[in-house]
Structure 1
Amino acid sequence: MAASSLALASSFWLLLRVPQPRGAIPVTCYFISRGRYSTAIAVAAARDSAVKRSADRNSAEEVRNILDMAERASQRRDVFHTNFLTPPIVKEAMLAVEKLADIKAVAQGGYPQAERCRISVGHPDFMTSNPDVVAALSISGNFRLEPCSHGDFLGAILGTGITREKVGDILLQGGRGAQVLVDPELVDYLISTLEKVGKVGVSCTQIPLLALEYEPPRTNSFKTVESSLRVDALASAGFKISRTKLASLISSGDVRVNWTPTTKNGVTLKSGDVVSVSGMGRLKTPIVGGWH
């Protein structure tokens, strides 16, 4: 109860777009006779470190898979690409891979503040430039009378049979529609298949990444006193919307805690949790031991 009171009396950070990553994964590497790190040994050590660091078993498994991919890239002198990954996995994987010898890693989401990114790992000789692994689509329609949410656009895309891992960020454009980042291999398929979002007929065209419309990140802090650490209470205060409106956003899949959609209003937040509301930004709770 004391911890809850402290949390509620402390400042929260409201993060618009993407917060800067912090922390690093300690990786143990071993020096061998040629004066280089052994990639295989370093990968094994990084796997162990990822497991110890991550409280999420699925995230740890994702990082291990990426490290295995990096090892194959080093052995075959080739380049491999992941699907779109969430920010925690991108952060941990990049910090782990950068410790490996003879491996270059690049994370790309289509624009500087992208949340979901693909990681490319490969031998430096074969990665002289950033791989072209992200494409942008414009989904246009008359949404002025039938506004659609992030969840509506994502649902329409997934309704064509595409899995979530092949889709990056979705940038809402109000009454005009949205811009979506996808795997380049799916561009032609979506152009020919996606016809509606909600009740609105749409046209889908490929656009250059430079045509993406996004805002640079801004950070504000706020204080609130609430009776609990429930996500609906704190997010309502942070985003300055009613709990009724927030409940509707939660039901439509537009509210996520630590990048995982939540469907319950009563989820209790912990220190350091990140709450995101599609099109509104993110809220980060203060960290115990370093309240701000």
Structure 2
Amino acid sequence: MNANVYQHFRNDERPFIDSAEGWIEQVQMQYAPFLTDFLDPRQAYILESLIRQSTDLSYRFFGGYEAAERRRCLIYPDYYVPTTDEFDMTLFTIQYPKKFTVLSHGKVLGTLMGTGVKREYFGDILSDGDIWQVFVATEVSQFIQLQVEKIGNVSVRLEETKYTDLIVPKDGWTEERETVSSLRLDTVISAVYNISRQRSKQLIESGKVKVNWTEVLRPDFVLDLLDIISVRGFGRIQIQGLEGTTKKEKVRLLLGVLRK
């Protein structure tokens, strides 16, 4: 790997960069398309940057619907014409006794991860407040359908669903702008949720904060474009834009914010 590529990204992103370079090289060598697992927005940004910087390959992202957060990427030679069917994802609706239980994103994801299947095989989890649906990579969909029989103590069933029956998710994201002294994790959380830096540090160090679905215990972790921060009990933040600095060297951010 060219060290010049690494310098544009974080050290902890090097394994993903190496994987992405391998996918790109495979398409170049075999002249055949390659389909990734589900990528989070930050991973998608890195992959797109690598493809655009160093190749004439084409690519397309798809996560089952237009506003999908987690998407698979098809990388292919420029002469190839892809179809939506090639993204190999299955939509399930979770059938459960609505009168006796309330589902949540955390409960659904925890159950899916409890099957032993990697997070990369699951796309978005959607809800309109009543109905719950999830996108799953087709290669593991039958296994997941057989494995998931309960969420908590409640019996459930995963029913394969046509894309035409996709629900309209209840979107609680709002667009906000903040000016912060730095892109440190504790600084951004403190600014967005209007809590002290000390409280922000406590949340991080006690394991209640994830960046791109990975637990981060360092308050000084430096965020970057399209990172998604999950703060237990508070909600989620996405870095949607880096809009320059002020005269006092503060950073202007465009954010997507989901408040609990």
Fold conserved (TM > 0.5)?
A: yes
Higher relative contact order (Cα pairs below 8 Å, separated by 6+ residues):
1
For 1:260 and 1:128, the matched residues in 2 are separated by 29
2:133 corresponding residue in structure 1: 179
The answer as to whether partners of 1:74 and 1:102 remain within 8 angstroms in 2 is: no
The answer as to whether partners of 2:213 and 2:230 remain within 8 angstroms in 1 is: no
Q: CA deviation at 1:98?
A: 2.6
Instruction: Give the TM-score normalised by structure 2.
Output: 0.71
For 2:106 and 2:92, the matched residues in 1 are separated by 17
- Of 99, 105, 124, the match for 1:169: 124
2:213 corresponding residue in structure 1: 260
For 1:168 and 1:221, the matched residues in 2 are separated by 28
More strand by share: 2
Q: CA deviation at 1:146?
A: 3.1
- 5+ residue gaps, structure 1, are 1-43
For 1:104-253, list aligned pairs within 5 A. Answer: 104-130=58-84, 131-143=86-98, 145-176=100-131, 178-210=132-164, 211-214=166-169, 218-221=174-177, 229=186, 233-234=190-191, 236-237=193-194
The secondary structure found in structure 2 opposite 1:180 is strand
Instruction: Give the TM-score normalised by structure 1.
Output: 0.64
Residues 233 and 71 of structure 1: CA distance in aligned 2, closer, same or farther (over 3 Å): closer
The answer as to whether partners of 1:50 and 1:60 remain within 8 angstroms in 2 is: no
Q: What percentage of residue pairs aligned between the two structures are identical?
A: 20
- Number of residues of Structure 1 aligned to a counterpart in Structure 2: 230
Residues 206 and 263 of structure 1: CA distance in aligned 2, closer, same or farther (over 3 Å): same
The secondary structure found in structure 2 opposite 1:98 is helix
Q: Deviations over 1:113-134 (max 9, x none)?
A: 2222222212233444343332
> Larger Cα Rg: Structure 1 or Structure 2?
1
The answer as to whether partners of 1:50 and 1:64 remain within 8 angstroms in 2 is: no
1:40 corresponding residue in structure 2: none
2:257 corresponding residue in structure 1: none
1:37 corresponding residue in structure 2: none
The secondary structure found in structure 1 opposite 2:79 is helix
Q: CA deviation at 1:202?
A: 0.9
For 1:32-111, list aligned pairs within 5 A. Answer: 47-57=2-12, 59-111=13-65
- 5+ residue gaps, structure 2, are 254-260
* AA matched with 1:165: E
Q: CA deviation at 1:168?
A: 1.5
* AA matched with 1:95: S
The secondary structure found in structure 2 opposite 1:65 is helix
